[in-house]
Structure 1
């Protein structure tokens, strides 16, 4: 593989995962909008109460394995030890099966006492019970995804993500419509069960791809001159040594959600809200504001997933220049995407929550947590870089420090009436900011990476400030003009035309500042290559 191809390969992988993730996230947005309109903030609060418990146990079951697999397999293939790479996958698959089954059973058994222990709304029991089988299925699916990602083949993961979300959406909406007459607790359980059917569909397509490509992939892996020096015990130790720190790091985020689940409703009650009001406010924060915040980060999630094997390959081969290039590219794309997303969510919080979810009051927590997009994105990308060079314990420690700050701020401010739900949003933002900056410090230290202040800070910041002024002016003009012309849905048209116009304006600013690179556009599906060539001819892009 040529150097230029190597440089672009991880961006291509990230682009594939981003396209799939964006499709899946749009579908996820779709079902959340529909569900919120059917069962309201209170019903979504019950649905969301199952998820922190589920994600904590899911992370314990599977989260470290795909990342560890991707790194170990990429290492072995780079070192031409293909048989050992296949051996690692087979052992990891067995581990995923056993651990996933045990954790899934545990969740079902402890659901009722756990809800009582955490002082949650007892109506959330059925939602917790309904989602528990998903842990087993997702754990097995994670092993197959990690295997393909280790080969730097992101297509199987992308396909499984799309099918998983489609089946999930279909199941959730269908069951909620059927069960809502029986009560919000049953409707929330129906929504939760979508995770099970979605995971089954995602696993089935991975098994199909695995079977279909068996001859080509496994002839590649099983041929070669390397002998298998690893026994099963060695493989388990290698996987565990990498997976445990990654799992601990990944565990912090669902623990933060669990802390929010425990603290927010209870501290809101301490501030004077009734149980139903506290549940509704928690639903606004967790089921309306946070999905809007997490939506743009699908790109950085994809970057992080693609970075691990790409950085691991460069690190194994001792190519410092390639590590620096990939690190610089990933961080630049992260800043360019997440910073304007934060600004847009902050400025358009009320119309977005009103139009999409019919919950305009959710704009209050959204404005405070909107800046979390930037810090969450930085934390995810920098974690991918550190995991790629084998420093898996560092991002775990840093995220834990951020989680402690989040818990303290959340607990302290949410019970103060003047803050209320704003306290939870502020705690989330500050927690991720601390984790992100600590990660960046270690990226500089461990990768010997020098931050390009002009490219990573000054140019994006100036572009975003100018875009912010543009959004305020354009939105007011569009809203007033469309209202005067008596357009139907003038509010919606003004909002989404502002989003589109702001994106175009921001893109033009980046072209002027030479922040968009030729390779960035080439990786965009369908129109990317043609657009890159056109802009290059016009002098806006450098190859």
Structure 2
């Protein structure tokens, strides 16, 4: 009974993650069509600052989950103690950001960000508390209510955001974004209220987990929280550096502040969303397979371990190749029909390899983590971020090279991290020779299918008809999906 329960928990978690990201993707697309490139640039920069500050407390929920799983009674005590600390510290932080929002906007080199920073300051108080409650419930294995709360939060966040932006758009895009970002607090508040009601109504059920405690010291809790926060800080730090560096280097290249914000919005608010969308599949697959990979490694069944790893790598690479080809060929249609502009098409085409590279990075990171190797993925990602920053600083400032420079920096970040993992895996049990040759055959299959559909539905117009594009998309991914299932997925299942 234990193994099916674990699989069910991981499926619930992965499914919720997929739905949450899908809601976010749809919401961002609608928001982009309402506020345009400059507006989504302001939104993206504001969220980069918010995400960076929020990650300072990201270690507490995970540590509380670990502590609660080991010692449920102490977990309840830690929840109360840490909640009080977060109420005081995050309350002061929220007030500080609110009062100094104009200074923060000046630091980010765009006074128009003041309204967005001021709105998100309220979320800096609510979201850490929400994360802490989720961490406590995670330690008690209440995965269903956690998944539901994430979907509720994301849904209400974007519903309120889109309604507020539409209501206040007449005041200007800067104020509309500012008011719209209050949706982040509203979504977090509704989700937090739901979880606290759930805990209060299920005290007896939850209390049944409070047995066989092991003693956990407060110093261990603090050290572990700080270590996890430091590890998770790199991706938000990278995004925050992008938000600081790219617009400033574009200004150095001769663009105005408004033009630089619009270009940043096209790259990171439009193109990046599209090219990273296929990684929802690889992320969910990696999340589900982690438990299987860990189980086989701990049992010492190297043959089964290598088989699952190679099949997972093969699946991610094949999916990345299929989606990358589609992004490259239909970048114009994707940009036009999703964002109602063709300005993101050349960036989408330049970033078409991203699903392939990210798919490998995610699954290879899971394999290394299963082997208790957290150092190499960490240093690989850190090296990628460092290379990306250097490229952004020099290439984005070259006149006329802004889009290309930013795209190269994004690809280099993912590529360096992936190559680092590949180098480590080649020195371990996982082999690549057996999957490279079939992968070339499968790429050929994907190209043939795509070329066949292009010839079958060929038209004379520059941007093909919407229904023709939808038909090609459905047929291509239906055919590719069946092929991937027969070649890969059924072997894992």
Q: Which residue of 2 aligns with 1:413?
A: 395
Alignment deviations for residues 146-175 of structure 1 (CA, whole Å, 9 cap, x no partner): 344445553223212211121111111111
- Note the C-alpha offset of 1:182: 0.8
Q: Which residue of 1 aligns with 2:101?
A: 111
- Note the C-alpha offset of 1:137: 1.9
**SS in structure 1 at match of 2:416:** helix
Q: Give the conservation status (yes or no) of the 8 Å contact 2:333–2:464.
A: no
Q: Provide the rounded CA distance (Å) in 2 between the counterparts of 1:161 and 1:291.
A: 20
Residue 253 of structure 1 pairs with residue 235 of structure 2:
yes
Alignment of 1:92-107 (within 5 A): 97=87, 100-107=90-97
Q: 1:97 to 1:235 in 2, by over 3 A?
A: same
Compare 108-117 and 92-101 and name the one that shifted more: 92-101
Q: Which residue of 2 aligns with 1:344?
A: 326
Q: Provide the rounded CA distance (Å) in 1 between the counterparts of 2:368 and 2:61.
A: 15
2:447 to 457, 468, 485: 468
Q: Provide the rounded CA distance (Å) in 2 between the counterparts of 1:431 and 1:437.
A: 10
Q: Provide the rounded CA distance (Å) in 1 between the counterparts of 2:193 and 2:291.
A: 24
**SS in structure 2 at match of 1:133:** helix
Q: Provide the rounded CA distance (Å) in 2 between the counterparts of 1:87 and 1:442.
A: 41
Q: 1:330 to 1:274 in 2, by over 3 A?
A: same
Residue 191 of structure 1 pairs with residue 180 of structure 2:
yes
Compare 380-389 and 195-204 and name the one that shifted more: 380-389
- Note the C-alpha offset of 1:213: 4.1
Q: Give the conservation status (yes or no) of the 8 Å contact 1:307–1:388.
A: no
Residue 324 of structure 1 pairs with residue 309 of structure 2:
no
Q: Which residue of 1 aligns with 2:490?
A: 517
- Note the C-alpha offset of 1:461: 4.7
- Note the C-alpha offset of 1:85: 6.2
**SS in structure 2 at match of 1:360:** coil
In structure 2, list runs of 5 or more residues that go unmatched: none
Q: Give the conservation status (yes or no) of the 8 Å contact 2:347–2:407.
A: yes
1:168 to 152, 157, 173: 157
Q: Which residue of 2 aligns with 1:363?
A: 345
In structure 1, list runs of 5 or more residues that go unmatched: 484-488, 521-543
Q: 1:251 to 1:140 in 2, by over 3 A?
A: same
Q: Give the conservation status (yes or no) of the 8 Å contact 2:14–2:288.
A: no
Residue 179 of structure 1 pairs with residue 172 of structure 2:
no
- Note the C-alpha offset of 1:404: 0.8
Alignment of 1:423-434 (within 5 A): 423-434=405-416
Q: Give the conservation status (yes or no) of the 8 Å contact 1:284–1:362.
A: yes
Q: Provide the rounded CA distance (Å) in 2 between the counterparts of 1:393 and 1:462.
A: 34
Alignment deviations for residues 362-387 of structure 1 (CA, whole Å, 9 cap, x no partner): 01112222322333343344445555
1:232 to 218, 223, 242: 218
- Note the C-alpha offset of 1:291: 1.3
Q: Provide the rounded CA distance (Å) in 2 between the counterparts of 1:71 and 1:309.
A: 16
Q: Give the conservation status (yes or no) of the 8 Å contact 1:467–1:505.
A: no
TM-score, normalisation: structure 2: 0.86
- Note the C-alpha offset of 1:250: 2.4
Alignment of 1:75-154 (within 5 A): 76=70, 97=87, 100-119=90-109, 121-150=110-139, 154=143
Instruction: Say what the alpha-carbon RMSD is for the aligned residues.
Output: 3.3
Q: Give the conservation status (yes or no) of the 8 Å contact 1:58–1:135.
A: yes
Compare 332-341 and 138-147 and name the one that shifted more: 332-341
Q: Which residue of 1 aligns with 2:434?
A: 454
Q: Give the conservation status (yes or no) of the 8 Å contact 2:296–2:305.
A: no
Q: Give the conservation status (yes or no) of the 8 Å contact 1:70–1:308.
A: no
Q: Which residue of 2 aligns with 1:282?
A: 264
TM-score, normalisation: structure 1: 0.79
Q: 1:113 to 1:327 in 2, by over 3 A?
A: farther
Q: Provide the rounded CA distance (Å) in 1 between the counterparts of 2:143 and 2:443.
A: 31
2:199 to 179, 185, 210: 210
Residue 38 of structure 1 pairs with residue 67 of structure 2:
no
Q: Give the conservation status (yes or no) of the 8 Å contact 2:293–2:367.
A: yes
Q: 1:262 to 1:465 in 2, by over 3 A?
A: farther
Alignment deviations for residues 156-212 of structure 1 (CA, whole Å, 9 cap, x no partner): 232122111211111111111111111111011123222111222222333344344
Q: Give the conservation status (yes or no) of the 8 Å contact 1:398–1:439.
A: yes
Residue 266 of structure 1 pairs with residue 252 of structure 2:
no
Q: Provide the rounded CA distance (Å) in 1 between the counterparts of 2:89 and 2:314.
A: 38
Q: 1:157 to 1:290 in 2, by over 3 A?
A: farther
Compare 47-56 and 367-376 and name the one that shifted more: 367-376
Alignment deviations for residues 192-238 of structure 1 (CA, whole Å, 9 cap, x no partner): 2221112222223333443444433430x213xx344223333333x
Q: Give the conservation status (yes or no) of the 8 Å contact 2:376–2:421.
A: yes
Alignment deviations for residues 375-426 of structure 1 (CA, whole Å, 9 cap, x no partner): 3343344445555665545433321211111111112222223532121011
- Note the C-alpha offset of 1:476: 4.8
Alignment of 1:303-322 (within 5 A): 318-321=298-301
Alignment deviations for residues 317-366 of structure 1 (CA, whole Å, 9 cap, x no partner): x4343993775665455434444333322222110011011121101112
Q: Which residue of 2 aligns with 1:65?
A: 60
Q: Which residue of 2 aligns with 1:222?
A: 210
Q: Provide the rounded CA distance (Å) in 1 between the counterparts of 2:347 and 2:24.
A: 21
Q: Provide the rounded CA distance (Å) in 2 between the counterparts of 1:211 and 1:269.
A: 53
Q: Which residue of 2 aligns with 1:536?
A: none
Q: How many residues align?
A: 490
Q: Provide the rounded CA distance (Å) in 2 between the counterparts of 1:86 and 1:309.
A: 27
